[in-house]
Structure 1
């Protein structure tokens, strides 16, 4: 359920905002155009919004500033603590893509950035099926995450990271469950979503999936 990576995120919480702002050269390409990516997610959002893996709250701040009702689901205790320092009055729950409360308000958009790849392909399938039930009619999923055109492309990035001496990045790319574009298109289509995808940087694509009317 992605919780096997919790230690990494608990340890990363203190320096996460520095990393996404480009201060860590090892991850500078991964987080290139970070603010633009978050703005793109907000652009496709309609509220109320449910976010998975909000981390320190960077996307949440933008969604709330845009006037949308917001709920966050974050499995990392350390990240939740950082989030609450920025947004102390915002609804935030311990949970993950597969385990989260049932909410009384109609969820119109599910968003997530840099997180969906922590699920195996089988777990991604389970999550999308559950999203379909969680979303209101004509609801939208908006994800920005690392994904690749092919497995070969991922392996090329692993080789590049190793050549540059970026061992942590190489380990991430080898250990986590980065999907291909083809897999995600098929996953959402067979679960009754239309889908559009746009590349945002060398690693990150924006995925916008609209739930079809029953």
Structure 2
């Protein structure tokens, strides 16, 4: 359920903001147009927002800037601490993950996440979407930005290209975590009565905008 990768984020927490702003050459393309990606997710969000993987609070800042009520979920304590330092008491952030979390007492209209859904296997992604569909209202949304691929060939080609560039940590990440394809995600979402569209922002990252029918 993604918590097997917590040690990575506990080691990376204090360097995360440096990486996402393009100062880590190996991950520069992964985070290309980072601010645009976050703003797109925020602009697609409506109503009360449940955010999975708050991280250091960068997306949360955009959501709050759009005057949205945000309820954060973050499994990494070092990340939560950094987010609280950045955001203060403007948002509540609880311990939890995509599959195990406490719903806020108010209705949730949008579920958002960036750079995190790949921590779940495809079967876990299916379980998560089914669960979200059970409590989102008609018109409710799932808006995720994440690394995903058009097909399996695009995935294997990207691993090979990363190795050829000497980006061995990136290649290892791509093989260790559970990156999936547009087709798999579309199939899962449509199975649970969501309309979905995908918008590409860089070689790695797409924004998935799903609306419950």
TM-score by length of 1: 0.97
What displacement does 1:54 show?
1.2
C-alpha offsets along residues 73-118 of structure 1, whole Å, 9 cap, x if unaligned?
A: 0011110011010012111000000000022111010000000010
Aligned 8 A contact 1:47 1:70 in 2: no
Report the RMSD for the aligned CA atoms in angstroms: 0.7
Aligned match of 1:39: 39
Q: Structure 1: state its 5+ residue gaps.
A: none
C-alpha offsets along residues 16-46 of structure 1, whole Å, 9 cap, x if unaligned?
A: 0000000000000000000000111011010
Alignment partners' CA distance in 2, 1:178 and 1:199: 15
Matched, 1:169 2:176: no
SS at match of 1:100: coil
Ranges of 4+ aligned residues in structure 1 off by more than 6 Å: none
Aligned match of 2:200: 199
Alignment partners' CA distance in 1, 2:107 and 2:178: 30
Aligned 8 A contact 2:6 2:76 in 1: yes
Aligned match of 1:27: 27
Alignment partners' CA distance in 2, 1:202 and 1:102: 34
C-alpha offsets along residues 149-189 of structure 1, whole Å, 9 cap, x if unaligned?
A: 11111111111111111111000001111110100110000
Query: How many residues are matched?
Result: 212
Aligned match of 1:5: 5
What displacement does 1:8 show?
0.1
Aligned match of 1:16: 16
Alignment partners' CA distance in 2, 1:33 and 1:138: 28
Alignment partners' CA distance in 2, 1:47 and 1:23: 34
TM-score by length of 2: 0.98
C-alpha offsets along residues 191-211 of structure 1, whole Å, 9 cap, x if unaligned?
A: 110001111110000100001
Q: Structure 2: state its 5+ residue gaps.
A: none
